[in-house]
Amino acid sequence: MPSRILSIFGTRPEAIKMAPLVKQLEACSEIESIVCVTGQHQQMLDQVLDLFAIEPHHNLALMTGNQTLNGLASRLIAALEDVLAAVAPDRVLVHGDTTTASAAALAAFHRRIPVGHVEAGLRTGNLMQPWPEEMNRRVVDVMSDLMFAPTASSKANLAREALHGKVIVTGNTVIDALNLTTERIDGDATLRAELDARFPFLDGALPVLLVTGHRRESFGAGFANICAALADLAKTNAVQIVYPVHLNPNVRGPVQESLGDARNVHLIEPLDYLGFVRLMQRASIILTDSGGVQEEAPALGKPVLVMRDVTERPEAVEAGTVRLVGTERESIVRAVTALLDSAREREAFARRINPYGDGHASQRIVAALTGRPFDEFAHGDADGTANGQVAIR
Ligand code: UD1
Ligand code: UDP
């Protein structure tokens, strides 16, 4: 009897990072793969499901406009009780640090269903940053019997907490998703031209500053500072700023209000993953508070400035391809301007290292789930020196 594995996810980043794993689970004869999307995100989730051709068995469609954390969490637990009862899975897989992940892990735990946590062990050490994600990722690890840590440093975080589950270092599945996507783009000139045609406003002669920003702890003053910094940068530099704006009304409102009329600032709708990866390829600098982008951009050799005070992704900071710039107006302007002014610094920043994965994280997770032997991910694997091919034996 194949083992019945229920993957539960609901937001854009979870979907991007679970998509390559779902594909591997589907391809494994020892596993019956079932997908439940909670619909914590609606449009941004559908963009990813369409791109990776994933048809969920269950879609809870739970998103409401400007949802509260408690409203969402309570709807999740109630709806997942019915799905867990109907599917009766041997195991549940959840991803990362969202409200979907913590509620799904708790719902499974209450029914004594083993939980596997994909992207386990990320920590800032500050419960309020990112809020509420640092709490979510911690409680999911407490409830998990299998923790798929992306890197050795996330494994070390888990070891310090003396948790009861087993930790396996897999690399981050985001690199699997990114590789699948860049292969499609790089191998197809027609697709590239179609994607570029989505950005007719871009001037090929000017550098592109690609921006994303959506974290809850930056709502209010943080976003006001970020917007003011972007307006300053657009005024004083020969640069074109492109900002695909998150659909959260607490982000869209202030961003539209302060930057809607700014020259050289292009506020656009959230892009599907193909379009966003193409824009990352075309960017000179990426300014972000997103977790996933901090992992992807170093793999693309792009300098990343992170608009946060702490990060749970220290690997790229240590390697020098990601720099924390906080959310103060002056520090953002200073850091971006220094990089725009110095091609040498940009290149140094953008040294092609990729501490987050080798594109085989999903294969390792499936091997671990089916009891097949495999080599854990080690940082040297990423550039092909240790394991140019597949690490699965
Ligand atoms: C959530 C995650 C965060 C993750 C982010 C990725 C939590 C607590 N936070 O935050 O960790 O980094 O997703 O994007 O789980 N909305 C839409 N359509 C969409 C998506 C969102 O309209 O497709 C709007 C809705 O009004 C929704 C609001 O955005 O109520 C906020 O969504 P929510 O998932 O609660 O929070 P995020 O800030 O997206
Ligand atoms: N992304 C996307 N379209 C966009 C902006 C981002 O597909 O317009 C991708 C990005 O490449 C990354 C993921 O979405 O893989 C990050 O999602 P988000 O910033 O919403 O969440 P976080 O990673 O911070 O949890």
Residue-wise pLDDT for 244-258, tens only, equals 999 999 999 999 999
pLDDT for res 380: 60
- Among candidate residues 133, 141, 295, 315, the one labeled active-site is 133
Q: 42 phi and psi, to 5 degrees? A: -105, -75
User: Does residue 385 register a pLDDT over 90?
Assistant: no
pLDDT for res 295: 95
User: Does residue 134 register a pLDDT over 80?
Assistant: yes
Q: Is 146:366 a contact under the CB 8 Å cutoff?
A: no
User: Does residue 226 register a pLDDT over 90?
Assistant: yes
Half-sphere exposure of 372 (CA within 13 A, CB side): 14
Atom of ligand 2 nearest to the CA of 268: 8
Q: What is the pTM of this model?
A: 0.96
User: Does residue 392 register a pLDDT over 50?
Assistant: no
Active site residue 216: yes
Hunting for tokens 């390829």 — which residue is that?
A: 281
User: Does residue 274 register a pLDDT over 50?
Assistant: yes
The CA-CA-CA angle for residues 353, 161, 81, to 5°, reads 95
42 CB near ligand 1 (under 6 Å) = yes
Burial class (CB in 10 A: 0-12, 13-18, 19+), 249: exposed
Burial class (CB in 10 A: 0-12, 13-18, 19+), 389: exposed
pLDDT for res 321: 81
pLDDT for res 352: 62
Domains, the chain, ordered by start: 3-172+357-390 (3.40.50.2000), 188-350 (3.40.50.2000)
Tell which one of 16, 40, 122 to mutate to probe ligand 1, the residue whose CB is within 8 A of the most ligand atoms. 40
Q: What are the CA-CA distances from residue 122 to residues 22, 72, 174, 218, 297 (Å)? A: 22, 23, 14, 20, 18
44 CB near ligand 1 (under 6 Å) = yes
Of the pLDDT bands very low, low, confident and very high (cuts 50, 70, 90), residue 386 is very low
Beta bridge partners of 117: 94, 147
User: Does residue 40 register a pLDDT over 80?
Assistant: yes
pLDDT for res 16: 98
The Cα–Cα gap between 28 and 352 comes to 33
pLDDT for res 351: 67
Of the pLDDT bands very low, low, confident and very high (cuts 50, 70, 90), residue 375 is very high
More confident: 352 or 291: 291
The one-letter code for the residue type at 131 is W
Burial class (CB in 10 A: 0-12, 13-18, 19+), 261: exposed
pLDDT for res 318: 87
247 CB near ligand 1 (under 6 Å) = yes
Helix (H) or strand (E) holding 256, with range, is helix 249-259
